Amino acid sequence: MSGWLERTGSLFQALRRRRHHDARIRWSRDRLEAYQRQRLDELVRWAAERSPFYRRLYGGLPGAIELERLPIVTKSAMMENFDDFVTDPRVTLAALRHHLQEVVGDERFLGELRVMSSSGSSGQKAVFVYDRPAWRDGFLHGNLRMSAFAGIAPTLPRRTRLASVAAPDGKHMTFRGSAALDVGLFATCPVPATLPPEEIATRLEAFRPDFIFGYPSVLALIAELQLAGKVRLAPRGVITSSEVRTDAMTARMRAAWGIEPFNCLGLTETGIAAGDCSAHRGLHVFEDLCILEAVDEEGRPVPDGQAGSKLLVTNLYNRLQPIIRYEVSDLVTLEGGPCPCGVSLRRIVALDGRSDDILELPGLTGTVRVHPLHLRGALARDPRVVQYQVVHDHAGLEVQVVLAGGADADAACAVAAALEAALRARGAVVAVRVRAVREIAREAGAGKLKLVRAATLHAPSA
């Protein structure tokens, strides 16, 4: 089956089931939690039967499955035991890695399986694989639900124009998500985030998108170009994903285009796991597709309204590569309660960290751990800072800043002073060097921008 025909068939099957899937977002909590328990029970028993890794990990299952009693799975454990982790003996890590070397667009392993890689911000890449049922019944429904939240729908006779400014190829989730809609219902335009901002802006201006999806760090730069009169775009909607979106980035998009940008949590482990609704009161967790647990350093659940130290992810629909209580580094704060939009799904009301590092800096009385939030506050207060990156190296903090048009060299000095004051307040004593640059280099591969990076702790991504 050709790539276009397969994408078209999967998308139309997902569209036919959309009403049934979308009804779940307004279910009562009791009904939704009962559905989760049923799906979790089926998933765990399938994994224990079909995956040698989970069979060893669980060592036999009790009569009832209790999520919080299941062991936590790390990326290292999954990758070190990958061939035993998956439930299809045809799928091996060596074969998937070989396949990924050849992936440019929507190519599939064995003609049917979509393989993607995480960005590897911690120095270790992870590989994820979806079969057709998981792609159709989970991944695509997450995309369609987020599209509906943002008001994206096919139109005739003029097709809705969708631009994606994200990963440059099909090794990454953001590219595959955009490619899934490229079947003729929409006019689509993928633009690699790795291009210079001016070239991205030129391509977008030529395409005239109705909606733009992309990394917030890139779209904030495009918004700055529009505010400077160097580009003219008039999108009806903007959706961001995959990076920390600071208040300053949001403010620039709002000022440039006169709209409130949407945000979503996209994970290669699950696809889109949570999305912003029209009320913009947080990201509704797609609880019928996945379970997200905010936990402390010891893996214990934290109360609603309190930020977790890490996130545990369970994908309820991928039977080929069961993701059950899988640990990721995102820092989230979850809340329940009603939302003005009428959706009953729980919400992520704070989403921090993503791939940013917590820095361990010298202090007067020993090592001080400084969360990226403390640095971000000092940088966000200066409206002249369009984009930044903080790197902790052996000499201290090296800070690169992209300044708004017209800002002078004094802005760099002001940023340095603000950062030094914020660090002193945390008890850290470290040299701060601030340098104004025209552009900050992005990570190889997906083209994301890590805002806070501990170069002395992590080796570069492979």
pLDDT at 63: 78
Give the orientation angle of helix 197-207 with respect to helix 216-227, to 10 degrees: 80
Are residues 286 and 417 located together in one domain of the fold? no
> Could you tell me if 341 and 279 are in contact, meaning their C-beta atoms sit under 8 angstroms apart?
yes
The residue out of 352, 384, 414 marking a domain boundary is 352
Mark whether 56 and 145 lie in a shared domain.
yes
- One domain for residues 31 and 148: yes
Q: What is the pLDDT of residue 31?
A: 96
For position 460, what pLDDT does the model report? 36
Where is the domain boundary, 329, 352, 375? 352
Among 294, 317, 352, identify where a domain stops. Answer: 352
Residues 325 and 367 in one domain: no
Question: How confident is the model over 133-161, as pLDDT tens digits?
Answer: 999 889 989 999 999 999 998 787 888 99
Query: Long-range contact list for 327-333, CB < 8 A, 24+ apart?
Result: 327/72, 327/73, 327/74, 327/75, 328/75, 328/267, 328/269, 329/122, 329/353, 329/354, 329/355, 330/265, 330/354, 331/307, 332/265, 332/292, 332/294, 332/307, 332/308, 333/294, 333/305, 333/306, 333/307, 333/308
- CATH number where 319 lies: 3.40.50.12780
How far is it, in rounded angstroms, from Cα 73 to Cα 93? 18
From CA 17, how far away is CA 36, in angstroms rounded? 19
Q: Which domain holds residue 48?
A: 3-157+261-352
Cβ–Cβ < 8 Å for 106, 239: no
User: In this structure, are 332 and 450 located in the same domain?
Assistant: no
> Residue 375: which CATH number?
3.30.300.30
Query: Is residue 228 in some structural domain?
Result: no
Which parts of the chain register pLDDT below 70?
Answer: 1-2, 4, 62, 119-124, 353-355, 371, 373, 380, 406, 456-462
Strands (E), 19-140: 114-117, 127-130
Q: Which secondary-structure segment (H or E) carries 52?
A: helix 52-58
Residues 368 and 420 occupy one common structural domain? yes
Closest CA to 237 of 199, 208, 206, 211: 211
Q: How many domains does the chain have?
A: 2
Query: What pLDDT score was predicted for residue 268?
Result: 93
Same domain? 390 vs 346? no
Q: What is the pLDDT of residue 298?
A: 92
Same domain, 282 and 422: no
Report if residue 224 sits inside a domain.
no
Verify that 272 and 383 share a domain, yes or no: no
| pLDDT computed for residue 373 by the predictor | 66
Q: Quick check: is 99 in a domain?
A: yes
Of the candidates 268, 299, 291, 324, the residue with the CA atom closest to the CA atom of residue 45: 324
* 115's tokens: 């393989």
Q: Are residues 301 and 444 in the same domain?
A: no
E strand or H helix at 435 = strand 432-436
Do the domain assignments include residue 20?
A: yes
